[in-house]
A and B are shown apart, each in its own frame.
Chain A
Amino acid sequence: MSFDQSDVEKIAHLARLAVPDEEAKKLSGDLSRILDLVAQMEQVDTSAVEPMAHPLHMTQRLREDRVTEENHRELYQSIAPATENGLYLVPRVIE
């Protein structure tokens, strides 16, 4: 199965990864080989099989509706790259 140049671009964009041209070729080769490995899955017919999302047959536990968190903005923002007036800064978001 092949993962060509345009696949690389499209997927890289979805994943917000910049792939410089020098790397793109090797990357598409690696990914193609991985997809070949993955293609082994086709050896088995799973049309009658249910997917298994979780190993255990548990259902979601529900939490009580209570406020349990306090304000720790200073601590949490002490590790932030860019903040001002308590806000996280990012390049202008255009709507």
Chain B
Amino acid sequence: MMHEKTITELAAGLQAREFTSVELTQHFLDRIGTLDEDLNSFITITPELALGEARAADARIASGDAGPLTGIPIAHKDIYCTSGVKTSCGSRMLHSFTAPYDAHVVSRLREAGAVMLGKTNMDEFAMGSTNESSFYGPVKNPWNRDRVPGGSSGGSAAAVAARLCAAATGTDTGGSIRQPASHCGITGLKPTYGRVSRYGMIAYASSLDQGGPMAKTAEDAAILLQAMAGFDERDSTCSETPVPDYTATLNDSVEGLKIGLPREFFDAGLDEGVRKSIEEAVDLYRSLGAEVREISLPNTGLAVASYYVVAPAECSSNLSRYDGVRFGHRCDDPRDLEDLYNRSRSEGFGAEVKRRIMIGTYVLSAGYYDAFYLKAQKIRHLISDDFRKAFAEVDVIMGPASPTTAVALGEMADDPVSMYLSDVYTVMTNMAGLPGISIPVAPVEGLPVGLQITGNYFDESRLLNIAHRFQQNSDWHKTMPEGV
């Protein structure tokens, strides 16, 4: 079926005129119409725009001017500004916000000929690990409708898992691509900080945010990343490091690959079933010729604590622009300026966002800056050093993306600290700015498990290569949830 095909397969099919982009797009739109009412993975669907783009893609294909993404229907996490199209960031604050411009990532994918089906659901302002904080309601995990899909890119993960799009974009600040990819049984990559331009990607924590691809396979992710990555002069934190051809090295051998398993990731906090799946996956790499050794990332225990200082601090400032003056939600009949601010912001933001703004404001406030923010930035340095030492010994680091499989809807919604602690394996990567990918391995009791692979700076090629080699020797990435 068309929706089961990879991007590579779809591109070949379009090229061979087996079907058109219009047909393919309509096919996905129909599936969304049928299946998404329950899953709630989309906030906005853009059928007319999509079909228009599909027609244009078909013309390009006909004239021989097609690339690997031309005519391929994708979805964008609703954190990316899309010109003329609602961009809500999962929040009431931007419920009525039509973005007046395109994010860099959106422009690049459009130039590559990708067709946008719509905007996916997400935790409000990217803050959350379960996609339950969205103003537009929670997203359901396609593998088990009583479970969360993970967050904050839960909508993108669920949409890809349910084959409602060929691929999707996500963002990752503390694990928001890798963890939902893990919970939904798909492949999700967080690039090195600075690899993908943040221009037009609504900011949560500026020094941690990074956009990346979410797809069914590593090869698909490579194709998407190829279009997304690269220098953009509008983002001062964007790197000028040249972008390699990610697909060229996918098939490289992993013979002699040195894999490190951090002992801190395999402690009592890790679910037994998940541990087994991860170990099995690592065994597969052994069988392909990789060497595996134990390493240590000693400051793992401080990762969550320090992350939950840095991220809220930056977000508390980034979200100050939402004041009801130039865009976004404004309260009715403000009595005075203070009332305008207080009420617009309180009405516009949900509980989790408010909590993080409060924590962020507190840790930056007079008298606390050194003890909290500065200290957290120092711990960041320690964490980076841990990785640096590790990469002197090994090529990549592997472990689980999450200590458990997807939790039940409602289970963590009211318990922020538990939710934060579940980010333990992913936040470190963001704090150090390293790239990381999550690929599906053996599920536990029907729920997907993700193997997280972390690489050195700008080593996305290697991550995609070893993920691809795994997928050439296993079928987990090919399985689909029931009923989709």
Contact = CB atoms under 8 A, between A and B. Distances in A.
Are A and B close enough to touch in the complex, i.e. CB under 8 Å?
yes
Given A30-B416, A37-B420, A61-B236, A88 B325 contact: yes
B326 A56 contact: no
Interface stretch (B134-142, B247-255, B359-367, B468-476): B359-367
Contacts, number: 170
Interface stretch (B8-16, B259-267, B287-295, B350-358): B350-358
Nearest to A28: B358
Interface residues of B, number: 71
B108 interface: no
A16 B193 CA distance: 31
B236 A60 contact: yes
Interface string B267-303: 0000000000000000000000000000000010110
Given A15-B358, A91-B334, A91-B337, A51 B377 contact: yes
A41 interface: yes
Given A33-B416, A40-B301, A61-B236, A11 B382 contact: no
B362 A31 contact: yes
A60 B381 CA distance: 20
Interface in A31-69: 31, 33-41, 43-44, 46, 49-56, 58, 60-61, 63
A88 B116 CA distance: 33
A44 to B, nearest CB: 6
A49 B381 CA distance: 7
Contacts of B374: 51
B336 interface: yes
Contacts of A78: 98, 100
B379 A44 contact: yes
B343 A41 contact: no
Interface string B328-360: 101000111111111101100100001101110
Given A16-B342, A34-B420, A80 B327 contact: yes
Interface stretch (B29-37, B50-58, B181-189, B304-312): B304-312
B391 interface: no
A42 B339 CA distance: 38
Contacts of B236: 60-61
Contact of A34 (B192, B340, B343, B355): B355
A90 B372 contact: no
B100 A14 contact: no
B375 A41 contact: yes
Interface residues of A, number: 51
Contacts of A38: 305, 308-309, 359, 363, 372
Given A34-B417, A49-B382, A56-B239, A81 B330 contact: yes
Nearest to A38: B305
Contact of A40 (B100, B305, B335, B336): B305
A27 B384 contact: no
A91 B330 contact: no
B301 A82 contact: no
Contacts of A55: 192-194, 207, 384, 431-434, 457
Contacts of A43: 301-302
Contacts of A53: 207, 377
Contacts of B301: 40, 43
Contacts of B339: 91
B323 interface: yes
A30 B414 CA distance: 9
B358 A11 contact: yes
Contacts of A79: 96-98, 100, 327
26 contacts: A7-B362, A15-B345, A16-B323, A16-B342, A17-B342, A17-B358, A18-B342, A18-B345, A31-B362, A34-B308, A34-B417, A38-B359, A41-B375, A41-B376, A43-B302, A49-B382, A50-B378, A52-B384, A55-B431, A56-B239, A78-B98, A79-B96, A79-B327, A90-B325, A92-B337, A93-B337
Given A17-B357, A34-B359, A52-B377, 14 more contacts: A17-B342, A17-B349, A17-B354, A18-B345, A30-B355, A33-B416, A38-B309, A40-B301, A40-B302, A43-B301, A52-B384, A55-B432, A72-B100, A88-B325
Interface of B: 96-98, 100, 192-194, 207, 233, 236-237, 239, 299, 301-302, 304-306, 308-309, 316, 320, 323-328, 330, 334-343, 345-346, 349, 354-355, 357-359, 361-363, 365, 372, 374-382, 384, 416-417, 420-421, 431-434, 457
